[in-house]
Chains A and B, each alone.
Chain A
Amino acid sequence: MFICDLNQDLNSSHQRYSKAKTLSSGLWKSFLNLKSFLFSYFSFRMIYTKPQILKRSDVLMMTPWFAPIVWEGTYNSEILNEQFRQRNVTVGLTVFAIKKYVVFLKTFLETAETYFMVGHRVNYYIFTDRPEEVPKVALKEGRNVVVLQVQNYPRWQEISMRRMEMLSYFSQQRFINEVSYLVCVDVDMKFNDQVGVEILSDLFGTLHPGFYTAERRSFTYEHRPASQAYVPSDEGDFYYAGGFFGGTVTEVYKLTKKCHEAIMVDKANGIEAIWQEESHLNKYFLYHKPTKILSPEYLWDDNLGRPEILKKRRFLAVPKNHAAIRNK
């Protein structure tokens, strides 16, 4: 089970404990007992291979505050799927397709159908200012698309930051009654491999693909004390990506509300954080530590190459022409 150099024979001392009472039931009694065992109150049986010795020794699997870092090879999907199916969980996937970004929806939804939370109930919440342009995509059973009409803003930075406001509003108004977990992602992406219930936790964030090997001093936190997103240079655990975070509806509500309020205070003070809401998200995660962290497998850009530690690329950036698509 674990790598160990123990040579002692552990069995010998068991003899010092008293022997178990032997069975004395008759044949008919044992048959009845077997039947009732099969219909016992224990919920389910699962056959799977025994937990192995550490499979990944090349990456950090857990933070110092016990949040697992989810890499391929560290979890068993069957066990996790069964746990979540028993709870009959519905997952909400939120995405913002404002102005020309509606063009990304088709690929996003089609790949989500193939790879996202397969076998579980999913509500796609599509925030858009152009509801008529939301494509019709064939959905599997237990999955729905909900289109939420919202306003747009002239600047793309504003659109990006206002997502926090919209998420906090709708979490309270609607999502709390409809789903157990929220997953909040960017739309200009496509799913390329399984993204399942292994990501679900009270509060989770994703390691930014550009910074997971970087030292703290390279993290692009907001370093101006005038901003609410300010992180001192001697603090910081990881650099989290603004394009993939989530958790229970309550936790996402608290996060988005806090970030939105901080953004508004900055606005009143005439300052905008260096990476918009991502800076505020990073500040939040520093002082309200996530309970689970997703590896860069969960948010990757092929322009960054294909390093060996990345066994899967699950959620990929779709190539786009920034100048053409933003502010339009």
Chain B
Amino acid sequence: MKNVSLTMPVIWYRCPFLIYSSGHYRRLKILHTYIFSLISCRRTDVLLVSPWLAPIVWEGTFNRDILNAQYRQKNFVVGVATFAVKKYVRFIEGFLGSANKFFLSGHRVNFYLFTDHPEKVPSINLAPEKRLFIIPVQNYSRWQDISMNRMDIISNHIHSHWRYEVDYLYSMDIDVQMFEHIGVEIIDTLVGTISSWQYTKPRDSNSYERHPESRAAIPHGEGDFYYAASFYGGSVSEVYKLTTACFKGVTEDRANGIEAKWHEESHLNKYLLYHKPTRLLSPEYYWDEELIRPRIIRVKRLSSVRKDLQEVRF
């Protein structure tokens, strides 16, 4: 058997040209040689697959051309739910402008924008396959309540009509901008994003809710990853189950006078511990702008917008 050293360079050439030819099988022909050796790894610096064999999406691990070809055959529609309440309306333009350019470019997307100031939504020229739905919503005095109630609103809307309109649904924070393409590599049954704050932490340092009185409590000694509530999603039925379960936890906590440490994010983490995601997005997919980007984060696709938290929340 040939011995191959670990330092063998990764050799694969990805060519942007595609020719779809007709014939018995619909073909994806890549012009240049598409070589990749089985015995060399593209990324050896990060975990590519979770212990339950869910792929973790990092730059350099996937070929979007192949994924697009697979996806296009199925003719799916993706929904994005986002909330711009009170002062957060100022982020709408940046979000929609960058999402129009970089989010699932070329694929059908419905943006569901919930806001208490529908008149303040700027008019944006969206790409033909993208649609914007502006939905009025009430605001709450506490920003934590606005944040947590998103789960309830999403679950109600899925139940009432989104399940007929879209196949996949993602919840995203509004105070973000996209800088690189986010494509069909995010599409899967249940998808969570690994938090940019927490991905190097050992299990017990993770910011899980630990007080057993809360519904979001995760005991010490348990936990896989820490997921960010800023970007999660999946199939409509899975997101419905997730948001319903999380909001139930929030409601029960409220009845007992408790609020989880990181609000609905704590509940999300509990849910995803016991209902493991089928795909994980690396911190490239939600990068907090306050952090310096290390080498392993090769691409910053989606990043929070710099803001004064004191000013914008209160």
In Å, the complex CA distance between A76 and B252 comes to 33
From known contacts A57-B6, A64-B61, infer whether A33 and B213 are also in contact, taking CB-CB under 8 Å: yes
Instruction: Decide if B276 touches A79 in the complex (CB within 8 Å).
Output: yes
Instruction: Decide if A80 touches B52 in the complex (CB within 8 Å).
Output: yes
From known contacts A61-B48, A83-B276, infer whether A50 and B53 are also in contact, taking CB-CB under 8 Å: no
Nearest CB of A to B201, in Å: 7
Instruction: Decide if A292 touches B53 in the complex (CB within 8 Å).
Output: yes
In Å, the complex CA distance between A151 and B217 comes to 60
Which of B26, B38, B217, B276 is close to A37, meaning CB atoms less than 8 Å apart?
Answer: B217
Residues 199-223 of chain B, each 1 if its beta carbon lies under 8 Å from chain A, else 0: 1111100010001110101010111
Which of A5, A8, A25, A50 is close to B256, meaning CB atoms less than 8 Å apart?
Answer: A25
Instruction: Decide if B245 touches A41 in the complex (CB within 8 Å).
Output: yes
Instruction: Decide if B1 touches A25 in the complex (CB within 8 Å).
Output: no
In Å, the complex CA distance between A47 and B1 comes to 39
- Residues from chain B with Cβ under 8 Å of A234 in the complex: 29-30, 33
Which of B37, B47, B259, B295 is close to A54, meaning CB atoms less than 8 Å apart?
Answer: B47
Which of A23, A37, A43, A79 is close to B51, meaning CB atoms less than 8 Å apart?
Answer: A79
Question: Mostly helix, strand, loop or mixed at chain A's interface?
Answer: loop
B49 at the binding interface (Cβ < 8 Å): yes
B24 at the binding interface (Cβ < 8 Å): yes
In Å, the complex CA distance between A42 and B241 comes to 12
Which of A25, A47, A68, A83 is close to B258, meaning CB atoms less than 8 Å apart?
Answer: A25
In Å, the complex CA distance between A294 and B255 comes to 49
- Residues from chain A with Cβ under 8 Å of B202 in the complex: 1, 50
- B residues 15-61 near A (Cβ < 8 Å) are 24-30, 33, 35-42, 44-53, 55, 57, 61
Instruction: Decide if A30 touches B33 in the complex (CB within 8 Å).
Output: no
From known contacts A66-B67, A283-B25, infer whether A33 and B47 are also in contact, taking CB-CB under 8 Å: no
Instruction: Decide if B257 touches A24 in the complex (CB within 8 Å).
Output: yes
Question: Mostly helix, strand, loop or mixed at chain B's interface?
Answer: loop
- Residues from chain A with Cβ under 8 Å of B61 in the complex: 62, 64
From known contacts A2-B296, A25-B258, infer whether A10 and B39 are also in contact, taking CB-CB under 8 Å: no
A45 at the binding interface (Cβ < 8 Å): yes
Nearest CB of A to B232, in Å: 17
Nearest CB of B to A64, in Å: 4
Which of B185, B200, B290 is close to A4, meaning CB atoms less than 8 Å apart?
Answer: B200
Instruction: Decide if A23 touches B276 in the complex (CB within 8 Å).
Output: no
From known contacts A57-B41, A60-B39, infer whether A213 and B1 are also in contact, taking CB-CB under 8 Å: yes
- A residues 293-328 near B (Cβ < 8 Å) are 304-305, 307, 309
Closest to B47 in A: A54
B224 at the binding interface (Cβ < 8 Å): yes
- Residues from chain A with Cβ under 8 Å of B213 in the complex: 23, 25, 29-30, 33-34, 37
- Residues from chain A with Cβ under 8 Å of B120 in the complex: none
Instruction: Decide if A76 touches B62 in the complex (CB within 8 Å).
Output: no
- Residues from chain B with Cβ under 8 Å of A235 in the complex: 27, 29-30
Nearest CB of A to B6, in Å: 6
Nearest CB of A to B202, in Å: 7
Instruction: Decide if B224 touches A215 in the complex (CB within 8 Å).
Output: no
From known contacts A66-B279, A79-B51, infer whether A23 and B44 are also in contact, taking CB-CB under 8 Å: no
Which of B25, B49, B66, B257 is close to A64, meaning CB atoms less than 8 Å apart?
Answer: B66
A6, A10, A45 — which one has the most chain B CB atoms within 10 A of its CB?
Answer: A10
In Å, the complex CA distance between A291 and B99 comes to 29
- Residues from chain A with Cβ under 8 Å of B215 in the complex: 37, 40
From known contacts A1-B225, A20-B259, A54-B44, infer whether A289 and B53 are also in contact, taking CB-CB under 8 Å: no
A39 at the binding interface (Cβ < 8 Å): no
Given contact pairs A57-B44, A66-B57, a sample of 18 additional A-B residue pairs in the complex whose CB atoms are under 8 Å apart: A1-B199, A2-B47, A10-B291, A13-B290, A20-B262, A23-B213, A25-B257, A42-B270, A44-B274, A53-B47, A59-B41, A60-B40, A65-B67, A66-B55, A68-B53, A76-B52, A79-B52, A309-B39
30 A-B pairs within 8 Å (CB atoms) are namely: A1-B199, A2-B200, A5-B296, A6-B294, A13-B290, A14-B207, A18-B144, A20-B262, A23-B213, A29-B256, A34-B213, A41-B248, A47-B222, A51-B47, A51-B50, A51-B51, A60-B42, A61-B49, A62-B48, A64-B36, A64-B61, A66-B57, A68-B53, A74-B49, A75-B51, A76-B52, A80-B52, A83-B276, A213-B39, A234-B29
- Chain B residues engaging chain A, CB cutoff 8 angstroms: 1-2, 4, 6, 24-30, 33, 35-42, 44-53, 55, 57, 61-63, 66-67, 70, 144, 185, 197-203, 207, 211-213, 215, 217, 219, 221-225, 245, 248, 256-262, 270-271, 274-276, 279, 290-292, 294-296, 309
